[in-house]
Amino acid sequence: MRYEKVHVNENKDVILTAYLLDSSDAFSNISSRPAILILPGGGYFNTSDREAEPIAMAYLAEGFNTFILRYSVGTEHTFDVSFKDAQDAISILKDNAQKWNIAENKIAVIGFSAGGHLAAALGTMGRIRPNALLLGYPCILSSMSDILAFAVPSLEKEVDEFTPPTFIFSSFEDQLVPVNNTIQFMQALNEKNIPFESHIFQRGTHGLSLSKALTSSGLTSFVDNDFAQWFDMSISWLHKIVGNFPAVKES
């Protein structure tokens, strides 16, 4: 595996970290790999470590080249600044597709909470759209601005015919980002006839990440075996959207 860090723009804190699987004759059925860009949550105040490298490692183990964007955060910024960071990151992935062995038409974006808002913005407003969109307990509505570092647009209003197929997971019990954010985005996708899959789990607090002990910060409230199923579900869904690696030859 190769590991690279790229400064996205003049802001030294905006960094794209790449985790790149090695090519090998043992993987003769893989000419290029799908990629997934990870946008951690943190209310636009920070980017959560719990929703960064553990997510990258999980998708890496499924054959994806993975990328974490530490985008602009803090009250000194605006949504437009963070949005530009995310758009620049997508452009960097496209520009380096050959170097990083990425299939250009198989780039997914996953975001959590405020990172889910940023991911949804890429999928609805971006100059370059991802091929698949995954949203974990996402902020969608402008009313969420009250708990975020700065004002944000309502993204259910931005869904259009170019919005990519979307996978959404959230929980009914989430008190910080109410499930209505997910429901309204689903309704907007349905109205535009955009394919989507959604899993609204009954139980689960906000910010569960992988919902396993390794991402729990030692708190039992961040572990829920039912909610943890979202990851395997997302892999199954991604195989439908961007395909799986071929395995057709007999040994």
Domains delineated in the chain = 2-21+32-242 (3.40.50.1820)
Q: Which two tokens stand for residue 19?
A: 């985790």
Residue-wise pLDDT for 114-168, tens only, equals 999 999 999 999 999 999 999 999 999 999 999 999 999 999 999 999 999 999 9
The answer on pLDDT for 251 being more than 70 is no
- C-alpha angle with apex 116: 185 to 51, nearest 5 degrees? 145
Residue with tokens 């997508």: 90
Question: What's the helix, strand, coil split of the chain in %, to 5?
Answer: 35, 20, 45
Pairing of strands 166-171, 2-7: unpaired
Work out the average pLDDT over 21-46.
Answer: 90
- Looking at residue 133, its pLDDT comes to 98
On the question of pLDDT at 248 being above 80, the answer is no
Q: Which amino acid is at 176?
A: L
> Is the pTM value of this prediction over 0.75?
yes
Separate counts of helices (H) and strands (E) for the chain: 5, 8
222 and 208 Cβ atoms separated by less than 8 Å: yes
| Separation between Cα atoms, residue 88 and residue 83, nearest integer Å | 9
Which tens digits make up the pLDDT trace of 44-71?
999 999 999 999 999 999 999 999 999 9
